[in-house]
Structure 1
């Protein structure tokens, strides 16, 4: 048995919906027609019986009522047999006219007809007083074989036949509509299956119509773009990390060979090689530590137990940080418009994370500001409760071509290529990841030769 695919489900849904609508409409038409037919039949019977009543009450009809014979009445009526044969030609097929006495005995009858199985029986009654018979009741019945009753049955058959035809057409239409509607989706499935890790640059064909399929295509293309960027960043990260680790490892390997060859005979070579090895080991340790910090910063932040968000005082973090960073470049003036007595600036970020962000930004500003320059740190609070910190320097600046790439891992500007000053190229990437993790943002504006301004926006607590 074939599985119920989405296409089959759509076809079945369309068919069942169309069939249900057709059944409801057909039922409504039949019930309405039947009600109208019943009303019409009752009115017609009542009008015809009224005519019979008038004729029976006329003097000219009296001889037909007083026909001698063995009657079913009581008293004088037992010896009289009324004759209603004159009314027979006026009765339709299936209609019967009867005269009954007070006890319900049939005194006279005209017409033939027995109710058909499952058919409706219509009737009309009138009471009148006749000589000899007293109070009698005229009754006209239709056994469901009249023209209107036949028409009602015929309409019912036609509606049932129409319902069966509609069911077949609904199934056919459901299949056609589902195939037509799902054709673009099948096309997208084929395109998606053909996209691999080496062809992430491909994009789905997006329909021109402004509908849900276009939104689906654009959404998936956006996802492919993000995936492509992520893969490219991962490849670049692996390549850059390998390159950064390869250099100190090569240096350590070279000095190891030197120690093996001349270290025993030359204490100077031994001490120099050990110093280089220690220096490169420290660089590798710092690089690995920064990589771990970056991975932790990019991980999804977990809500602390108890529901209370971690917070810190930004002013206290700056007062703790600045005395330690001032020695990075003693020839640069470092100004801060706050102090230990400044009003507290609570933000939604752990103190260690805030310290790491500010340290990376302030140290960069000091490194790339020439002697005699200045670095100024200021803060303010916006109307929506956010805390804004600006770190402005008068350093070498960053070119417009390099500015879009400064948050990339291992990226270093032309002015920071040397290992003694440039670092690993992870500081700004770490700062950006930490800021975004806690809902903040970081922006950099720079002019070559005039300086750089870094704007940090923290969520106030």
Structure 2
């Protein structure tokens, strides 16, 4: 059977009230037990004093007092206001026993040179019993003195009603307090719920209110606001991505449509125009292919998770040298300066490391207006990390643009027409670096250099 859900307000009040009842009950019984322990020790001391008094009197029998006088004195001990009963006995006979029904519930005890004090509850009353040796007229006996714990009895009789009234009053006040605190807590949760509904209906600009208390609810609101900021950033970035991707795709498609329409109307008989238009169309198709390929690589980098514990270390030196060899074949005018520290290994997939280097080197060549292009690649250990650095002598990046260059489709110079640049490369590099919990840093100065550093953990 499915359990019926209880409203959170009622659940909080019920649990709070239950906890308060337990606390009050523990406190009340703790006070009673503490007082009982105190009175218990006090009654034990009285019993010991009574025992010593009787022993002292028994030692004076035949010198200062007769046995009959000793018995008369014992009778006077339980004839006053103090409820005390005395019994003296041996294995053979009972020497003295006060007249009381209590002896029916108290057993004879036979001990040897010892004093035994015990507690016994009879008819809901607490009694203290001392059993010890006593010598009377050269004969050995056992004496038992029974004393009711009058102090604790009077305390419970007089104070228990006050305790009960205080407990009930405390429960009532605690219940009211629990309702107030619980309602205040739930009201703040309702405010957060209201904010969520407003976001759902009106958009993601609304945020939860943060009070000056900075309590746990405020911390939840802060986390919620932070989450909504990230969601809003993601929406805005996604919107920019769609807009920029549409723009990048629209340019080659427009060119293709224009040239194909022109060829259909009059370019089929003009061989020169036909050849030129077909070359342009092929270039635009290649451009579309590269855009789509870069977007697929970016999507893969965003969705792929890497378990560094299951990844083997690779030797990056061979990959770097092989890639530079391929670039030199394509363009032998670029100068490469390579500085790789010996015996360095990195936990990274070979394809990912190669993709990073291709992006960095392509950008170094693409954004360079010098007659002599120079690219310096450095790989070395630095403290507890391995640093991969690619530095060029290109056009550089403005300081206020460095934080933006890793955004998708972002271009520093938006007026530049470069069919091979889509602003995706560094975004792909950033996603690859994040997969390995590494860090990427860019340093640049206009018309002088750009340095991209990647820090891998050892």
For the aligned pair, the TM-score class normalised by the smaller chain equals 0.7 to 0.9
CA shift, 1:203, in A, is: 2.7
Distance 1:175 1:33, change over 3 A: same
Q: 1:310 to 1:219 in 2, by over 3 A?
A: farther
What is the RMSD computed on CA atoms of the aligned residues? Answer: 4.4
| Structure 2 equivalent of residue 418 of structure 1 | 417
Work out whether 1:388 is the aligned partner of 2:393: no
The equivalent residue for 1:3 is 5
State the match for 2:336 in structure 1.
Answer: 336
Which residue of structure 2 lines up, in the alignment, with residue 70 of structure 1? none
Alignment of 1:31-46 (within 5 A): 31-41=33-43, 43-44=45-46
**Could you tell me how far 1:169 is from its partner in structure 2?**
4.2
Q: Could you tell me whether the CA contact under 8 Å between 1:432 and 1:442 is conserved in 2?
A: yes
- Of 19, 23, 26, the residue aligned with 1:24 is 26
Point out where structure 1 has 5 or more consecutive residues left out of the alignment: 66-81, 328-332
Distance 1:269 1:453, change over 3 A: closer
Secondary structure at the aligned position of 2:374 is classed as strand
Q: Distance in 2 between matches of 1:371 and 1:307?
A: 40
Do 1:444 and 1:453's aligned partners in 2 also have CA atoms closer than 8 Å?
yes
Q: Which residue of 1 aligns with 2:265?
A: 261
Structure 1's 60 and 363: CA in aligned 2 closer, same or farther, altered over 3 A? closer
> Deviation of residue 218 (structure 1)?
2.9
In 2 relative to 1, CA 119–319 (structure 1 residues): closer, same or farther, beyond 3 Å?
same
- Measured at CA, do residues 33 and 411 of structure 1 come closer, stay the same or move farther in structure 2, by a change above 3 Å? closer
The question of whether the paired residues in 2 share the 8 Å contact of 1:311 and 1:348 is answered with no
Change (3 A) 1:457 1:109: closer
Q: Does 1:246 align with 2:235?
A: no
Residue of structure 2 aligned with 1:194, choices 186, 198, 202: 198
Moved more, 167-176 or 348-357: 167-176
Cα distance between partner residues in 2 of 1:416 and 1:343: 44
d(CA) in 1 for partners of 2:415 and 2:344?
33
Asked if 2 retains the 8 angstrom alpha-carbon contact of 1:96 and 1:112, the reply is no
Shift of 1:288: 0.3
Rounded to whole Å, the distance in 2 between the matches of 1:378 and 1:4 is: 65
Asked if the contact 2:335/2:372 (under 8 Å) is kept, the reply is: no
Q: Could you tell me which of 126, 129, 141 is aligned with 1:120? A: 126
Q: How far does residue 237 in structure 1 lie from its aligned partner after superposition?
A: 0.5
Q: How many residues align?
A: 434
Q: Deviations over 1:58-108 (max 9, x none)?
A: 99998988xxxxxxxxxxxxxxxx989984994338655678787556977
Partner Cα distance (2:159, 2:355) in 1: 86
1:405 and 1:135 mapped to 2: Cα distance?
A: 105
TM-score in terms of structure 1 length = 0.74
Contact 1:334 1:376 in 2 (8 A): yes
Distance change >3 Å, CA 44–CA 252, structure 1 → 2: same
Cα drift, residue 221 of structure 1: 2.3
> Structure 2 vs 1, CA of residues 456 and 41 (structure 1 numbering), >3 Å: closer, same or farther?
closer
Match of 1:91 among 80, 95, 99: 80
Q: Decide whether the 8 Å contact of 2:377 with 2:389 is kept in 1.
A: yes
Quick check: 1:322 aligned with 2:327?
yes
Runs of 4+, deviation exceeding 6 Å: 48-53, 55-65, 82-86, 97-102, 111-116, 134-139
User: Structure 1 pair 2/171, CA: closer, same or farther in 2 (3 Å)?
Assistant: farther
Structure 1: how far apart are the matches of 2:23 and 2:441? 60
Look at both structures and tell me which one has the larger radius of gyration over its CA atoms: 1
Give the distance between the partners of 1:355 and 1:307, measured in 2 at CA.
16
* TM norm structure 2: 0.75
Q: Say yes or no: does 1:451 pair with 2:456.
A: no
Q: Indicate how the Cα distance of structure 1 residues 157 and 308 shifts in structure 2: closer, same or farther if over 3 A, else same.
A: farther
Shift of residue 243, structure 1, vs aligned partner: 1.7
The partner residue of 1:291 within 291, 295, 320 is 295
Shift of 1:323: 0.8
How many Å separate the matches in 2 of 1:426 and 1:248? 17
